[in-house]
């Protein structure tokens, strides 16, 4: 199963918002994880395993991925897309 996702830049050059066509994070609370965390959430876990991802913030149908400053989005985007396709 693959989820349709739209990537959008944010005011922070090290963060990008990914909005999906379905709910990614259940419930009314937000989810925030940083490198080194071991979340039970499949997408969060897959994103944090990507070299260059520093932390993520998720709520309902979107997740914001924050990258390390010395990593380029061009290198990360294919890996992030792959993480969405795994869940």
pLDDT > 90? residue 86: no
Instruction: Render pLDDT for 1-34 as a digit per residue (tens, 0 to 9).
Output: 567 899 999 999 999 999 999 999 999 999 999 9
Query: What domains, with CATH codes, occur in the chain?
Result: 5-86 (3.30.1370.70)
Vertex 28 angle, CA 9 and 58, to 5°: 30
Residue whose pair of structure tokens reads 């963060």 in the numeric block:
15
- DSSP string computed for 16-78: EEEEESS-SB-SSS-EEEETT---S-HHHHHHHTSTTEEEEEEEBTEEEEEE-TTS-HHHHHH
The string of pLDDT tens digits covering residues 32-64 is 999 999 999 999 999 999 999 999 999 999 999
């Amino acid at each position: 199963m693959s989820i349709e996702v739209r990537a959008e830049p944010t005011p922070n050059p090290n963060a990008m918002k990914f909005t999906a066509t379905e709910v990614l994070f259940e419930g009314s609370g937000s989810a925030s994880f940083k490198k080194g965390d071991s979340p039970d959430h499949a997408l969060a876990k897959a994103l944090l395993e990507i070299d260059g991802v520093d932390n993520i913030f998720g709520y309902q149908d979107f997740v914001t991925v924050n990258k390390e400053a010395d990593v380029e989005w061009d290198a990360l985007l294919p890996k992030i897309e792959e993480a969405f396709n795994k869940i």
